Amino acid sequence: MERPVRALLRRIGVGLFLALVVVFTSFLLVKLGAGPTDLLLGGPSPGVEERAQLVQDYGLDRPAFVQLVRYAIRVLGGELGRSWLTGESVLSELLHRLPATLELMLYAILLGTLMAVPTGMAAAFARDTAEDRTVRGTSVLGEAMPPFFLALLLLLVFFRWLDIAPAPSGRISIVLSPPPTITGSYFIDAFLMQDSIAARSALAQLVLPVFTLALMLGASLTLLVRGAMLAQMDAPHFVYARAQGMSREMLTIIALRGALPAIGGGLAAQSAALLSMTALVEYVFAWGGIGQYGLEAMAKADFAAVQGFILASAAIAATVHLLHAVIRRLARIRIRRA
């Protein structure tokens, strides 16, 4: 077989194996649960028919291995079951809420990177000075900050005390109705509909949650950028460039270019942490994304929804890793051409 084909097949094989591990984890979650599976999935008191249906759907009267296989087939076929609380299909509820979460994460990544890259670079160039130590200290503080506490602190200051931020009541003011769905982002949709009142409200609702997440992400990103820059600045080519008397701007560009792969890799590795933070921040701001959905499902013992949420989180993380791999591959091709 051709080498690229074999490499591709291998990648698909590994991907499939990872997917199976995730599905098994989600299966085990309910198996480890307190109580029989049908009661965990069907709520504390399902009707006789519902119970029979669950037993049949999941093969609960069969051995555990058969149950696992059935569950895997169901999940890989996109069947995530029904929430006993709302009676809705978990998959459609997740898909419905996904844009809200992605919007939050995307803005947080943009703003967080915008804050972290210059700060981390400045700290690296000022290595071991008071400036560097301040940046590092603040970053460690940010890493130790519980995301929900930062969200509450910002709400206390900007909503309760200064009264310039709106109440944490979701994605748009409660007196307005959400714009018709085009992209799923209330702000963009209202903007496209030229509904300036709704757009302004959606934007105002975005500010605090995005800022919370960007600060949290920025803290660890800053350390990452600083570390990656320092690694570059110790490299022989950089020492040589500096000895040549290159300008500070040129040196920055050289170091940043070399540090980009490490920064990108670190950002991809942060995706799981970002998802966790987003869930907690959504919970505080009643954001209505999949994070809030998942955490509330946990608190209310709605396990079909919890399983769906766990699978969805893994799917998002996997997508980020895939995107990262593709970007890295493309960048490598560009370097080879150049």
Partner 1 sequence: MIGGMLRLLRVLARRRMGAVLALVVLVGFALAVLARPVVWPHPPGAQEAGLVLQGPSLAHPLGTDGNGRDVLARVIDGARYAFAVPLAALALAILLGAPLGLAAGLGGGWFDALLRRVFQGISLVPPLLLAMALVAAMGPSLRHVVFAIGLLEAIVFARAMRDEVRALHERGFVEAATAAGNPLHRLVLVHLLPNTLARIAGEIPRQAAWALGVLAAMGFVGIATAADTTEWGSMIREGVEHLYAGQWWVVVFPGFALLVFGTALRVLAESIDEHGPRRAASGAMLAGVPGRPAGALTPRGAA
Least separation, in Å, of the C-beta of 175 and partner 1?
A: 18
Interface with partner 1, residue 173, by CB under 8 A = no
Among 121, 223, 254, 304, binds partner 1 (CB under 8 A): 223
Question: Which residue type sits at 336?
Answer: R
Least separation, in Å, of the C-beta of 45 and partner 1?
A: 17
Q: Which is nearer to partner 1, 122 or 159 (CB)?
A: 159
Considering only residues 20 through 59, tell me which ones interact with partner 1, judged by CB under 8 A.
Answer: 20-22, 25, 29-30, 32-34, 40
Least separation, in Å, of the C-beta of 250 and partner 1?
A: 24
Contact 281, 213 (CB under 8 A): yes
Interface with partner 1, residue 198, by CB under 8 A = no
Interface with partner 1, residue 327, by CB under 8 A = no
Interface with partner 1, residue 205, by CB under 8 A = no
CB burial of 141-180 (b: ≥16 within 10 Å; e: otherwise) equals ebeebebbebbbebbeebbeeeeebbebebbbbeeeeebe
Q: Which is nearer to partner 1, 70 or 136 (CB)?
A: 136
Among 43, 99, 147, 170, binds partner 1 (CB under 8 A): 147
Interface with partner 1, residue 216, by CB under 8 A = yes
Contact 204, 166 (CB under 8 A): yes
Q: Which stretch binds partner 1 (CB under 8 A): 56-64, 183-191, 217-225, 248-256?
A: 217-225
Q: Which stretch binds partner 1 (CB under 8 A): 3-11, 49-57, 74-82, 144-152?
A: 144-152
Interface with partner 1, residue 149, by CB under 8 A = yes
Least separation, in Å, of the C-beta of 156 and partner 1?
A: 5
Q: Which is nearer to partner 1, 133 or 181 (CB)?
A: 133
Q: Which stretch binds partner 1 (CB under 8 A): 62-70, 81-89, 138-146, 183-191?
A: 138-146
Considering only residues 255 through 314, tell me which ones interact with partner 1, judged by CB under 8 A.
Answer: 262, 265-266, 269-270, 272-277, 279-280, 283, 294-295, 298-299, 301, 303, 306, 309-310, 313-314
